[in-house]
Amino acid sequence: MKKIALIVPALLLVMAGCSKHEGAAKGGSQVVAKVNGSEITVHQLNFALSKMGKLDQSQVKAASEKVLQQMVDMELLKQKSVDEKLDRDPNVLQVLEATKQQVLAQAYMQKVASKQAAPSEDDIKKFYDTHPELFSERNVYVIQEFAIKDGNEHASEIEAGINDAKTGDDIANWLKDHNHMFSVNASRKAAEQLPLELLKKMNTLKAGDTLVVKSPQALVLLFLAKIDRQPVDLEKAKPVIQQFLVNSNQQTLIKNEVAALRKEAKVEFYGDFSKMTMDGNATVPATPAVKPDTDKPEAPLAAPASESTQPAHNPAIEKGLSGL
């Protein structure tokens, strides 16, 4: 079933249309290949090429030929699949229907999101002013993370025991002396790479302090070995704040639309779910997130994903890395 799920999106990718070979279309035939009589059009080829991102003019011909070869192979496999009557297989039909549902839902969400107006200069300035920890008071933290396997059972004891620790070695030695199993991870994190809830707590601390974080897997001690102040001015912050506000407002629009659709719809549950009712909490189907440039470890201004993001072990602070 997983293999089918991977193949179907690839099939959809290479069998639809966009615009890089307009010359061929204008020149008469829009057909770029026939496979056992089945046509592949220039629009289908263009759509597949569009998924490769922006291409230089010098790259277009080679990329087109390579993609077209792949489309021919995909068409051959599709034809063979139909010959084998796999298009009637219940699992395949389920995947095709689920993919169709996802594509249509995504298309409607994009239509709703497109109604979002660009944030104003006042909106951007307000966000900048209300989040000094991300901008005017932005810090870069050098963190030693101690994840204690049985820590949640002895949280009070551990917190009291490491209270006077001045260095990471002090914490490690105390944990060893008291027979606690733990792992250590060192990292350097800019403010925008941390969950906002965690950042607000860390912003009140100074170098040498330790923040205790409970997660389902372990008790995590975040020792702040060093704090470097690296503020960002409003002009530099504007583009990413604008993108963050656009994304955030679009999510709100979609959530409100789903809530309205739920309110108007007649939904009935059957069988084991016959006693279930609509919970009133509209959800927003997952969409791909815009991520910060990971090639630049401290690339500033990738705003936190969510105010409700909770730190989690291994590493405890990675949840903030999803960025915009």
Q: What share of the chain is helix, strand, coil (3-state, %, to 5)?
A: 50, 15, 35
Q: Mean pLDDT over all residues of the chain?
A: 82
Assess contact for 289 and 243: CB atoms under 8 A. Answer: no
* Stretch (H or E) spanning 169: helix 168-177
* Residue 318 DSSP label: G
What would the two tokens of residue 37 be?
């009589």
Distance of CA 236 to the CA centre of its chain: 23
The ranges of the chain with pLDDT < 70 are: 1-29, 282, 285-324
Concatenated DSSP letters for 62-111? HHHHHHHHHHHHHHHHHHHHHHTTGGG-HHHHHHHHHHHHHHHHHHHHHH
What does the pLDDT read at residue 58?
A: 87
- Rounded to a whole number of angstroms, the CA Rg of the chain reads 26
Query: What CA–CA distances, in Å, run from 119 to 126, 132, 192?
Result: 11, 19, 20
How far is it, in rounded angstroms, from Cα 84 to Cα 92? 12
Tell me the pTM. Answer: 0.63
Residue 223 has what pLDDT? 96
3-state secondary structure of 173: helix
Residues 6 or more apart whose CB falls under 8 angstroms from that of 31 comprise 39, 40, 41, 42
Q: How many CB atoms lie within 10 A of CB 286?
A: 6
Q: Tell me, what DSSP letter sits at residue 269?
A: -
User: CB neighbours of 175 closer than 8 A, spacing ≥ 6?
Assistant: 146, 148, 158, 162, 182
Decide: helix, strand or coil at residue 203.
coil
Residue listed under structure tokens 């704040």: 241
Q: Are 109 and 181 in contact (CB under 8 A)?
A: no
The answer to whether 18 and 46 are in contact (CB under 8 A) is yes
Report d(CA 39, CA 60) in Å as an integer. 21
| pLDDT in the model for residue 20 | 43
Residue labelled with tokens 């994840």: 147
Nearest by Cα to 221 from 269, 301, 152, 275:
152
| Residue that has been written with the tokens 């063979």 in this structure | 80
